[in-house]
Structure 1
Amino acid sequence: MAETKPRFYYKGDRLKPLRAFCQVARLGSVSRAAEALFLSQPAVTLQLQALERDLGAALFERIGRRLSLTREGNALYELARPLVEGLDGLEGEFRNKLKGLEGDELHVAAGSSTILYLLPRLVQAFRESHPKVQLVLHNVTGKDGLSLLRSDAVDLAVGSMLDVPTDLSYAPVYSFDPMLIMAKGHPLAAKATLQLEDLSPYGLILPPKRLTTWRLVDLVFQQRRVPYTVALEVGGWEVIKQYVAMDMGISIVTGICLTDADRDRLEVRNLRDYFPPRSYGVVVRKGKFLSPQARAFADLVKPGAFERTDYFESGHSDR
């Protein structure tokens, strides 16, 4: 019959005997180790004996009145000390980690229009309530924003999405109507009602084709079989508004970008009868837990949109 290796009581809990072993190795005395561990000397002795039997090696030798490590004891001490110290310091490190979450970085992806028109007051409110968090805004659009979300380079995104991929969650918050903008005194401004066909003779100033606005404008004109021309393709609502004010063309913009000053220098007409409104909100990637600061920022945009039990990460497409 094969010899059965004995099973010891202390083998079920390796931490206690390893902690006792490390204390004796550090202090050179069972009695001093027992005091440090708030145990009796016999309890510490039993734990050491069980550990030596379990490992099949003598771990200490007595030199005078002090216990010293054997060669095997030294080998074990090198392995056990970081484990024991790590476990003993786990609670403190955990609490420090939680504090770090509140004083960490928050990365948010957004397009230029979102950063310029929608986020300023939200960023201000977040900075006031979370002064220790370093907020990093990534000015990106379209596929670049989605790539940042999916690669965990950003925590979430704020912007507009027409088509939401299955791996993302989108919580729309704000809605803005499509607006036709023209220079002061433009012929279209005199019309009581506007038809989409009325825009055909005038060149449009639009964002680049890779952005959502251009594709949406093209889709609506194509569906209604209304011809149109693009006089100028340029990025940035501020640039577009300036060129329209100079009467270089007309444009169809989202209401988010129009200020009171813009309405004073431009002719503005609502085109909700022809173009759908654009929503803006928080986009996150499914499957990633939002940090406290990311959840706080999302709640500033849309309170309660993403509860603590939900798992996310972000995605974004602007304009």
Structure 2
Amino acid sequence: MVSLDLQKLQIFCEVARQRSFTRAAEALYLTQPTVSQQIQALERQMKVRLFERLAKEVYLTESGQVLYNKAAALLNMAQEAELAVREAAGISAGKLALGVGVTLATYVLPELLRRFNMSYKAGPNTTNQNGGFSPVKFDITLGNSETLAHKLLKNEVDLGLLGSPIEAHPLLELHPFLEDKLILVVNSEDPWVTEKRTSVGLGDIGNRPLLIRERGSALQAFVERMLDAGHVHPEQYLIMANLEAIKRSVEIGLGAAIVPALSVKRELEAGRLYALNIEGVEVGRTFIYAHHKDKEMTRPAKAFLELVKNYAINNATENSLNDVLPV
């Protein structure tokens, strides 16, 4: 029976992910020769080639892919076992890897982290004596919903906070936790503002440039489905990966945009943007939390998940925007 070294497996998995000995060495704070030696030793031990070396990148062989699937699961189990033992002893709070959509990362996550820091306890029967900060190490990855769902499936993040719609997957658990309204915004000098309109039809939107998020974004998918259902094709799409860039572009008159209400509160209150309803369309959007259904939740993950479940921003957002949203 072959005895496997967890350190060798960690190096092997990192090379597989990076497709490069050099990048893997940098990620693991090792020298490139050390990484090469460990992979060679593992190949001798397994008596198979694990990588094909093509040009400047390396690729898993068929045997390498089999080992990677098992090794990644084994390393995850080892990490979970260590965390479970340390948490039971009250030694460490561990690490929490979050995958968060850009909209939620900008307008919701900071408040969630603040509440977590104030409420999380470092160990059994102890209070937070860390100046209001939890001892949990957060590793936060930002991305669109499609990218983050893929990372959840590959066990690269523990929890995901995503926008909908998102394609269902048998290995993902998806749960709604926040409702928000999507609104159409234009700049303060737009003709619709001069006309004091509070709503426009889908056809009106098709007569001007529309700023939208990039493909893969849940917001982009939602907007395109709505427009396709109404057979509306705007005269020009301006695609941007950043909601802040979209808002700024609308402010200077480059077009209109359909955005989450929670993202434009300050701009509406300051009069830099003007909000309109879309006639005949209920434009609501659900944000969800997600995790791999087979993922063993650590104590920090369970605590953060409980905070997300109880997050009451829905009513708070609607109430705080009553004075600036169209009736």
TM-score class, shorter: 0.5 to 0.7
For 1:209, the equivalent position in structure 2 comes to: 215
Structure 1, unpaired ranges of 5+: 1-92, 305-319
- Find the counterpart in structure 2 of residue 178 from structure 1: 182
Distance 1:270 1:182 in 2: 11
The reply to whether residue 120 of structure 1 matches residue 110 of structure 2 is: yes
Q: Secondary structure at the match of 2:200?
A: coil
Aligned to 1:285: 292
Cα displacement (A) at 1:164 = 2.6
Post-superposition shift, 1:216? 2.3
Q: Is the 8 A contact 1:149 1:284 kept in 2?
A: yes
Runs of 4+ in 1 over 4 A off after TM superposition: none
Residue 133 of structure 1 is matched in structure 2 by 136
Range 295-304 or range 272-281, more displaced: 272-281
Residue 236 of structure 2 corresponds to residue 230 of structure 1: yes
Match of 1:297 in 2: 304
Q: Distance in 1 between matches of 2:92 and 2:247?
A: 40
Preserved contact between residue 208 and residue 235 of structure 2 (Cα < 8 Å):
yes
Q: Does 1:261 align with 2:267?
A: yes
Q: Which amino acid aligns with 2:163?
A: S
RMSD across aligned C-alpha pairs, in angstroms? Answer: 2.3
Q: Is the 8 A contact 1:204 1:232 kept in 2?
A: yes
TM-score using structure 1 length = 0.61
| Deviation of 1:275 (Å) | 5.1
* 1:298–1:271 Cα change, 3 Å: farther
Given the alignment of the two structures, is residue 251 of structure 1 paired with residue 241 of structure 2, yes or no? Answer: no
Counterpart of 1:270 in structure 2 is 277
Q: Which residue of 1 aligns with 2:206?
A: 200
- CA distance in 2: counterparts of 1:182 and 1:236, whole angstroms: 17
Q: 1:249 to 1:295 in 2, by over 3 A?
A: same
Number of the residue aligned with 1:147: 150
1:108 aligned counterpart, secondary structure: strand
CA shift, 1:256, in A, is 2.6
Query: C-alpha deviations, 1:234-259, integer Å up to 9, x for none?
Result: 11111101010000111111223112
Aligned residues: 212
CA distance in 2, matches of 1:273, 1:243: 27
CA shift digits 1:161-200 (9 cap, x unpaired): 3133222111211111111010102122323542111112
Contact 1:156 1:283 in 2 (8 A): yes
- Give the distance between the partners of 1:275 and 1:229, measured in 2 at CA: 23
Among residues 156, 159, 166, which one is paired with 2:170 in the alignment? 166
TM-score by length of 2: 0.59
Q: Which moved more, 1:271-280 or 1:257-266?
A: 271-280
Bigger radius of gyration: 1
Deviation at 1:274, TM superposition (A): 2.1
With over 3 angstroms needed to count, the CA separation of the structure-2 counterparts of 1:242 and 1:132, relative to structure 1, is same
- Structure 1 position 231, deviation (Å): 4.1
Aligned to 1:111: 101
CA spacing shift, 1:96–1:202, aligned 2, 3 Å = closer
Change in 2 beyond 3 A, CA 1:99/1:245: farther
User: What letter is aligned with 1:135?
Assistant: F
